Amino acid sequence: MSDDEVRVTFGWLARSALLVLWALVAWGGLLLLVSLGHAVSEGPWPALARLLPSHETSAWGWLNALAAGLALAVVCAAAGLWAWGRWARTAPKSEHSGE
């Protein structure tokens, strides 16, 4: 294989992996939204406990737990970046430069 073929193949695999990752984040977000809906009627702990896999859980149960955790991590990272961006815009220039 030439360098160009390797680069194209790697780019295709990287884009496919990124698509799968974002699909997991979207699926986890849907699971969290459904759990939030159940939390209104059942309470937060029983609703979220269903997302945690037990000892006899199949691979789908573990994948659901992974997807929900991944979605929660993405939301926390996005909120942190948003807060940091707001702080960076409102802070005086002397705080940024370390003077």
pLDDT score recorded for residue 71: 94
Backbone φ and ψ for 21, nearest 5 degrees, come out as -60, -45
Q: How confident is the model at residue 15 (pLDDT cuts 50, 70, 90)?
A: very high
Q: Where are the beta strands (DSSP E) in the chain?
A: none
20-51 pLDDT per residue, tens: 999 999 999 999 999 989 999 999 888 888 88
- pLDDT tens for 58-75 read 999 999 999 999 999 999
Question: What pLDDT, in 10s, does the model give residues 72-95?
Answer: 999 999 999 999 988 888 877 655
Look at 62 and 96; give whichever has higher pLDDT: 62
50 phi/psi in degrees, rounded to 5: -65, -25
3 state DSSP class of 57: coil
pTM beyond 0.75: the answer is no
